[in-house]
Amino acid sequence: MVDHQKAQQAVAMLLEAIGEDPSREGLVETPARVARMYEEVCGGYDENAAEHLSTTFHVDGSEMVVERDIRFYSLCEHHLLPFFGTAHVAYIPDGEVTGLSKLARTVEVFARRLQLQERLTAQVADALMDDLHAKGAIVMVQAEHMCMSMRGVRKPGSQTVTLAKRGLFAQDERLVDDFFRMVR
């Protein structure tokens, strides 16, 4: 997916632009490493959540399933700096549940892109509704943005918290209460 040659050329140019010497020992391999890194940290572009969420198992009833504290790393599309933290993901099944690892994989699919935290949160919730055909989905993401801690306003330790509710979670506050008790 990543055009390695173009990425390497871009990184070498960036090194020159900041006044560095791309041919000095420590930097010679940097363009190639950064290209490989983008392949990995932006690997989500080549995946889609539906593939993961299509492995399902039949269940009776429709009790909430919560996968909490899913650690993730993403890249802020504004500064190309990491943001990272945890996602709590829950859904109300409609007769079908998915493998638990698939919830974490769904987070990865959307985290491994240039992102906004709000969009990441919404995309995970939408995938549970559209691809797992859940009756309701709720996603809470808590993350520290390096663009807030290492530069600009420089507020290390501050966290951004985002929430997306879909289906039954948008209608029934008692379900939302249960979710918050289960992740606390």
Ligand X SMILES: Nc1nc2c([nH]c(=O)n2[C@H]2C[C@H](O)[C@@H](COP(=O)(O)OP(=O)(O)OP(=O)(O)O)O2)c(=O)[nH]1
Q: Which of 33, 99, 100, 150 binds ligand X (CB under 6 A)?
A: 33
Select the span of 57-65, 76-84, 104-112, 121-129 touching ligand X (CB under 6 A). 76-84
CA angle 56, 61, 64 (to 5 degrees): 75
Is residue 41 within 8 Å of 75, Cβ to Cβ? yes
Q: Which of 147, 149, 172, 183 binds ligand X (CB under 6 A)?
A: 147
Q: Distance (Å, rounded) from C-alpha 128 to C-alpha 134?
A: 6
Residues annotated as catalytic (active site), given as ranges: 76-79, 117, 145, 147
Question: Of 98 and 115, which has the nearer Cβ to a second copy?
Answer: 115
User: Which of 3, 54, 73, 152 touches ligand X by CB under 6 A?
Assistant: 152
42 is in an annotated binding site: no
Supply the minimum distance, in Å, between the C-beta of residue 137 and ligand X.
Answer: 20
Q: Tell which positions 81-120 bind ligand X, by CB under 6 A.
A: 116-118
Q: Which residues pair with 97 in a beta bridge?
A: 57
Give the position of tokens 């919830």.
Answer: 103
Is there binding between residue 24 and ligand X (CB under 6 A)? Answer: no
97 contacts: CB under 8 Å, gap ≥ 6? 56, 57, 59, 65
152: left (phi over 0), alpha (psi -120 to 50) or beta: left
147 assigned binding-site residue: yes
- Contact residues for ligand X, defined by CB under 6 A: 29, 33, 76, 78-79, 116-118, 145, 147, 152
